[in-house]
Structure 1
């Protein structure tokens, strides 16, 4: 209601001058007194010039007389214009002026009803907070979201061999439901190839088997897989996993990022900005959540009414994935042939990435360690030789790779 009162007052103030102008008689004056005075001064100056020219002998007495008569005639003409009366056009009737004003005012109201939002309600802070809470409490569950939302694309294109090995792992776990390492391996690798529903199901089993020993990372990984399974939507079930992660480690980066995303999706950009700005200031440039936060935080700050300038980001090499020590350990209970093939698949992917894009000392060390586990010492030795060339100028980096080479038995 306050809006309409203010808008009506502004509209009336804008229309009133138009009505007053229409009611006022409009006059036109035949003589411009300012121009007449200037014209008379010119003629007087001309008379003085005539007398001056006569004294110099430049004009004869008759010529001077004729010039004075002509100038005097023009002065009389100009002076006579002062006696002309001002003429005025008749003013509009009151009803006509008010009609024009009403048309202008009504036209403005009609335009607003067509192009504006006349039924939009005031949204004080209390109302907006209540609306956000309602959105949060009534948002779709994980199961409903999975029926309607596409999953996120896989982190990498899986090879047929990799998918076959995952099927074999599922079959093995069907007879060993309490195999913690097997479920850990399934959750991690199913997520990599984009099978997120199987991944979070396996991760939930990992948490159940660990019980009270489940870590913040375990719950953050569960939330991550659930959110990826529905293309980035944070369901109530994913929020519960986030809450469990933050209860164990309030600084967990993955959980804090997804908590901010949840608030953004439920109408609380202010909470999102608080979480993300703090997380961004405490993160390394290559942390996985840094890029998505930097791509969205300025829009979030604007929606939250915050003045924010995105700080520059130091360039860093993109992280490359490969088999970790946990992957190798988790594969230990598989059949010898399946375990070797599984690790070999991950090693080949890491090796191809390092050859094409390079990587960190830790990734080179991981590749050498994995080749050592596979018993491929000749290939591990070749990778070690290449690493010495690449990291030779950096003793610290070289020491990291050397430690892996020593563990693989190919370096002193």
Structure 2
């Protein structure tokens, strides 16, 4: 309320000054030219006094009289012109004062109503930090936020891939202690947009592994929970991010989500520092770096920082992954095996390759190798599902797509 009174008073004061200027001509008893005449006449009398005191000589006195007389004639002509002409209308001046006051007062209030925060109390820095801490302690949980997220629209899924994922669900349910099966289930549920099911499978995987984990496992679980909550970083996800950064302070995805969390907690100052440091760490082109670059300018604005673009550090040169295949020892051992044992050996290698691609990703050559191997094993449905997933992963790489298509053709598919 104090602010409203203040801006109203300032607007009224400016209006009063404008009104004083507009109405000044009506408030004066005489026009300005009459005042000028009195001044010039006084100057003429002062010339005679100065001449008598010897301050000036006769020639100077004559020059001054001539100049002052000229000014008296000009002022008298101006006075006659003002007396003959019309004066500023009082009604028009009054209307101008009222309109100016209305524009200033209403315009000031209207601008603040649109750009300011009416009804919002004054909050200094310490008060804002305290409010952010209170919100951080009382913000919605993961479950509460998930209940408010509308269901995703149905996706178009190839029947073969949907059948494969359903089989994976059934297998994982029958083998609840199979860590690898839970990791695969989490990966494929995420691919389908079933983020709640995905992070639940990831939680099971972490529980089975019982601490024998990579720091990124906690970060991946946090990311799945954040996706399930529509981008909201819940207290549960925050704990996982804290654990990830304690084990690996340089973890890029975790640093991205931690900066996002600080923005959600109304601490853009902390979030900006985290994101700025992460940009400097790089590597350029990483998914989390791209996400930061698209949002950091807005976060800097909220933090009151004059943002200058930060160039991410270049990452190490990418090394083409090696396609995993049977070693020389594997080939020698396979020659001594029976047909059935050799088939089981091949299936084992294919399974290991499939698991690694699902959890860690790989090159187009590796995906093509997996598709071809499944075709040789007669698993055409599974090969089709893998081919569909691989096309999604390499949608922007024409060379990779051609390689995958060739492998699908060799596997007996109809790409």
TM-score by length of 1: 0.60
SS at match of 2:199: helix
Take 1:354 and 1:8, find their aligned partners in 2: how far apart are those partners? 62
Match of 2:62 in 1: none
Aligned residues: CA RMSD: 4.9
Structure 1 residues 169 and 132: alpha-carbon distance in aligned structure 2, compared to 1, 3 A threshold: same
Checking the alignment, whether the CA contact within 8 Å between 1:152 and 1:230 is kept in structure 2 is no
Match of 2:229 in 1: 230
* Aligned-pair CA distance for 1:17: 2.9
Take 2:389 and 2:174, find their aligned partners in 1: how far apart are those partners? 30
Take 2:75 and 2:303, find their aligned partners in 1: how far apart are those partners? 73
* Aligned-pair CA distance for 1:25: 2.4
Checking the alignment, whether the CA contact within 8 Å between 1:151 and 1:229 is kept in structure 2 is no
Match of 2:176 in 1: 177
Structure 1 residues 176 and 82: alpha-carbon distance in aligned structure 2, compared to 1, 3 A threshold: closer
* Aligned-pair CA distance for 1:297: 0.9
Structure 1 residues 124 and 181: alpha-carbon distance in aligned structure 2, compared to 1, 3 A threshold: same
Structure 1 residues 338 and 101: alpha-carbon distance in aligned structure 2, compared to 1, 3 A threshold: farther
SS at match of 1:194: coil
Take 1:107 and 1:2, find their aligned partners in 2: how far apart are those partners? 21
2:112 to 112, 116, 141: 116
* Aligned-pair CA distance for 1:197: 1.3
* Aligned-pair CA distance for 1:12: 5.4
Structure 1 residues 100 and 245: alpha-carbon distance in aligned structure 2, compared to 1, 3 A threshold: same
Take 1:329 and 1:339, find their aligned partners in 2: how far apart are those partners? 19
2:390 to 339, 350, 356: 350
* Aligned-pair CA distance for 1:271: 1.6
Task: Say which is worse superposed, 195-204 or 118-127, in terms of deviation.
Answer: 118-127
Take 1:83 and 1:305, find their aligned partners in 2: how far apart are those partners? 59
Match of 1:199 in 2: 198
Structure 1 residues 105 and 208: alpha-carbon distance in aligned structure 2, compared to 1, 3 A threshold: same
Match of 1:404 in 2: none
Take 2:5 and 2:29, find their aligned partners in 1: how far apart are those partners? 34
Take 1:84 and 1:199, find their aligned partners in 2: how far apart are those partners? 94
Structure 1 residues 338 and 181: alpha-carbon distance in aligned structure 2, compared to 1, 3 A threshold: farther
Task: Say which is worse superposed, 130-139 or 340-349, in terms of deviation.
Answer: 340-349
SS at match of 1:213: coil
Structure 1 residues 103 and 149: alpha-carbon distance in aligned structure 2, compared to 1, 3 A threshold: same
Structure 1 residues 134 and 343: alpha-carbon distance in aligned structure 2, compared to 1, 3 A threshold: farther
Take 2:75 and 2:96, find their aligned partners in 1: how far apart are those partners? 42
Structure 1 residues 325 and 344: alpha-carbon distance in aligned structure 2, compared to 1, 3 A threshold: farther
SS at match of 1:20: helix
Whose Rg is larger? 1
- Any idea what the Cα deviations from partners look like across 1:68-126, whole Å, max 9, x if unmatched? xxxxxxxxxx9996995964999999xxx999979965774455455534533212111
* Aligned-pair CA distance for 1:194: 1.4
Runs (5+) with no aligned partner, structure 1? 34-77, 317-321, 380-412
* Aligned-pair CA distance for 1:235: 1.7
Q: What are the within-5 Å matches in structure 2 for residues 31-180 of structure 1?
A: 84=80, 87=83, 108-109=104-105, 111-113=107-109, 116-117=112-113, 119-150=119-150, 158-180=157-179
- Any idea what the Cα deviations from partners look like across 1:153-178, whole Å, max 9, x if unmatched? 89x96422112111111112222111
- Any idea what the Cα deviations from partners look like across 1:26-72, whole Å, max 9, x if unmatched? 866999x9xxxxxxxxxxxxxxxxxxxxxxxxxxxxxxxxxxxxxxx
Runs (5+) with no aligned partner, structure 2? 37-73, 316-322, 324-349, 359-373
* Aligned-pair CA distance for 1:183: 0.5
* Aligned-pair CA distance for 1:222: 0.5
Match of 2:326 in 1: none
Match of 2:28 in 1: 25
* Aligned-pair CA distance for 1:136: 2.4
Checking the alignment, whether the CA contact within 8 Å between 1:136 and 1:266 is kept in structure 2 is yes
- Any idea what the Cα deviations from partners look like across 1:310-340, whole Å, max 9, x if unmatched? 2467999xxxxx9996643699xxxx98988
SS at match of 1:281: helix
Checking the alignment, whether the CA contact within 8 Å between 1:141 and 1:237 is kept in structure 2 is yes
* Aligned-pair CA distance for 1:211: 1.7
Take 2:277 and 2:151, find their aligned partners in 1: how far apart are those partners? 29
Checking the alignment, whether the CA contact within 8 Å between 1:269 and 1:300 is kept in structure 2 is yes
Q: How many residues align?
A: 314
SS at match of 1:134: helix
